[in-house]
Amino acid sequence: MDFYLLLTLMGVHIMVLAVPGPDILLVLRTSLAFGYKSSVLASLGIGLGIVAWVFLAAFGLKAIFIALPPLQGVIMGLSAIYLMFLAFMLFKSAKNPKNLSLQTADLSGKKRRFFIIGLFTNLSNPKAVLYFASVFALFLDKASSLAEISLLVAVISIESMLFFLAIGRLFSTKKAREIFFNNQILLDSVCAVIFAGFSLAIAYECILKFTE
């Protein structure tokens, strides 16, 4: 594979990751509320989801959607439900905020839940489905061997993980978290509205797809 083509893919991928969406919002909120270690677990979950999409793209995701057109609509419907659930949980948090602090937040709850939430948030992200089935698939078509496909899978997976780990580190600083705790009700409310907005937008697209 041409080295410049690989750099182009890395550039496109980082821009896709940087577009505000459920994944980046989840890592941002987790790092603010629970610290860097928890955001690492959320990032690992998101990273595993991305690896799953990359492998599916490498071995026929686009062909599956062509063979089974309703499948994409079903995935989008489930995505809308899951993201609305996250919005509801954030709304509950805003309505009844816990007395968290920099000293207690990192110890609250079971940390493995952040990994699971990260994984399902990514798997329910329609942006990931569309990107890996279309844009990423174009670059895969340029790969002429299993070794080149494996290289693409490795590079994109590592790049994604490093991106979300960097976001987690940036927003888990003491100053950023102090701002969050001082404005938790407002920020959780904003996050709830954003997740609900993602859910409704996906639901609308899903309805259009099934009514075409």
Boundaries of domain holding 119: 22-211
Is the alpha carbon torsion for 13, 15, 162, 105 positive or negative? negative
* pLDDT tens for each residue of 94-115: 776 554 444 444 444 567 889 9
Alpha helices in the chain (DSSP H): 3-18, 22-34, 36-58, 61-67, 69-95, 112-123, 126-133, 135-140, 146-171, 174-182, 184-211
Range among 113-117, 121-125, 141-145 with highest mean pLDDT value: 113-117
User: Residue 14: inside a domain, yes or no?
Assistant: no
Average confidence (pLDDT) over 179-194: 82
Residue 3 covered by a domain: no
In a domain, 144, yes or no: yes
Cα atoms found within 13 Å of the Cα of residue 120, Cβ hemisphere only: 14
Q: What is the pLDDT of residue 84?
A: 86
Residue 75 has pLDDT above 60, yes or no: yes
pLDDT at 24 over 50: yes
Per-residue pLDDT at 16 exceeds 60 = yes
- 122 within a domain of the structure (yes/no): yes
Q: Name the domain count of the chain.
A: 1
- pLDDT tens, position by position, 154-172: 888 889 889 999 999 988 8
What pLDDT does residue 102 have? Answer: 44
Are the C-beta atoms of 45 and 116 separated by less than 8 Å? yes
Q: How far apart are the first and last CA of the chain?
A: 39
At a CB cut-off of 8 Å and minimum separation 6, what does 106 contact?
34, 35, 37, 38
Kindly state whether residue 113 falls inside one of the protein's structural domains. Answer: yes
- Domain assignment present for 1: no
pLDDT at 118 exceeding the cut of 80: yes
Residue 134 within a domain: yes
Tell me what pLDDT residue 110 has: 64
d(CA 179, CA 194): 19
In a domain, 62, yes or no: yes
| C-alpha atoms less than 13 angstroms from C-alpha of 79 in its C-beta half-sphere | 31
Residue 163 has a pLDDT of 92
Structure tokens at 17: 């990751």
Model pLDDT, residue 107: 45
Do 11 and 135 touch, CB atoms closer than 8 A? no
> Which two three-digit tokens encode residue 187?
């920020």
